[in-house]
Chains A and B, each alone.
Chain A
Amino acid sequence: TQLLEQSPQFLSIQEGENLTVYCNSSSVFSSLQWYRQEPGEGPVLLVTVVTGGEVKKLKRLTFQFGDARKDSSLHITAAQPGDTGLYLCAATTDSWGKFQFGAGTQVVVTP
């Protein structure tokens, strides 16, 4: 059983459309990270959220951490082909040294 559940598993949209991907858990985390990974490369850190209810914006990307710090969402506005990739969430707790990952959401944006 995956500690972090990501949905949907796959998302294909046209350029210019909006999309939202989700990361859910029954556990409470001290921080949650979002990464984007392209084929054959390591994940690239996009953002870290630590406060319940926190919203962070990175250009067309908006990240939200749930009030209870159990879930998060990533919203992309006016998606572009360059947004194509595997979006991963990862989380940790204060008592852990390690990070746990979700299975990822594969996003494909077609021109």
Chain B
Amino acid sequence: DTGVSQDPRHKITKRGQNVTFRCDPISEHNRLYWYRQTLGQGPEFLTYFQNEAQLEKSRLLSDRFSAERPKGSFSTLEIQRTEQGDSAMYLCASSPQRAGLAGKEQFFGPGTRLTVL
């Protein structure tokens, strides 16, 4: 395991369809984060998990968005009834829950580029 992986890398869908993305964090990391990034902007926080518990959700995360991390390992992000405004790069990151410097760093996957037509 050399890093965070995300699948798929690209997704094109029609408005109104549901999509699901998967993130596999670095194996010993118990914190997992989801971000959304649009062109020319920094990543915007969506939600994060500590093990299987979802500890915080951004107001950006409407009712159409749901994230899970059922066994504290991989996570899924589902968007229902997609809208054109959902088009963005969806990034996943993980970090260890440790004292000191290591616990303050997060490592990103390559992202999933979503295009809603």
**A contact set with B: CB distance below 8 Å:** 4, 6, 30-31, 33, 35, 40-45, 48, 50, 88, 90, 92, 97-104, 106
Interface pick from B12-20, B62-70, B72-80, B106-114:
B106-114
Q: What is the minimal beta-carbon distance from B24 to any residue of chain A, in angstroms?
A: 13
Tell me whether B50 and A97 are in contact (CB under 8 A).
yes
Cα of A24 to Cα of B21 in the assembled complex, Å:
33
Cα of A69 to Cα of B113 in the assembled complex, Å:
34
Tell me whether B50 and A102 are in contact (CB under 8 A).
no
Q: What is the minimal beta-carbon distance from B34 to any residue of chain A, in angstroms?
A: 10
Cα of A40 to Cα of B105 in the assembled complex, Å:
22
> Which B residues are CB-close (under 8 A) to A103?
40-42
**B contact set with A: CB distance below 8 Å:** 4, 31, 33, 35, 40-45, 48, 50, 55-56, 91, 93, 101, 104-111, 113
> Which B residues are CB-close (under 8 A) to A48?
101, 104-105
Tell me whether A40 and B113 are in contact (CB under 8 A).
yes
> Which A residues are CB-close (under 8 A) to B41?
103-104
Cα of A43 to Cα of B55 in the assembled complex, Å:
23
> Which A residues are CB-close (under 8 A) to B44?
101
Give the 6 A-B CB pairs with smallest separation, nearest first: A42-B108, A101-B42, A31-B104, A103-B42, A104-B42, A42-B111
Cα of A33 to Cα of B33 in the assembled complex, Å:
16
CB-CB under 8 A for A42 and B45, given A30-B104, A50-B104: no
Residue of A4, A6, A88, A98 touching B48 (CB-CB under 8 A): A98
Listed by A's residue number, 19 A-B pairs whose Cβ atoms lie within 8 Å are: A6-B42, A40-B110, A42-B111, A43-B43, A43-B108, A45-B108, A48-B104, A88-B42, A88-B43, A90-B43, A97-B50, A98-B33, A98-B45, A99-B45, A101-B44, A102-B42, A103-B41, A104-B42, A106-B40
Tell me whether A100 and B45 are in contact (CB under 8 A).
yes
Of all chain A residues, the one with the shortest Cβ separation from B102 is A48
Tell me whether B50 and A45 are in contact (CB under 8 A).
no
Cα of A104 to Cα of B42 in the assembled complex, Å:
6
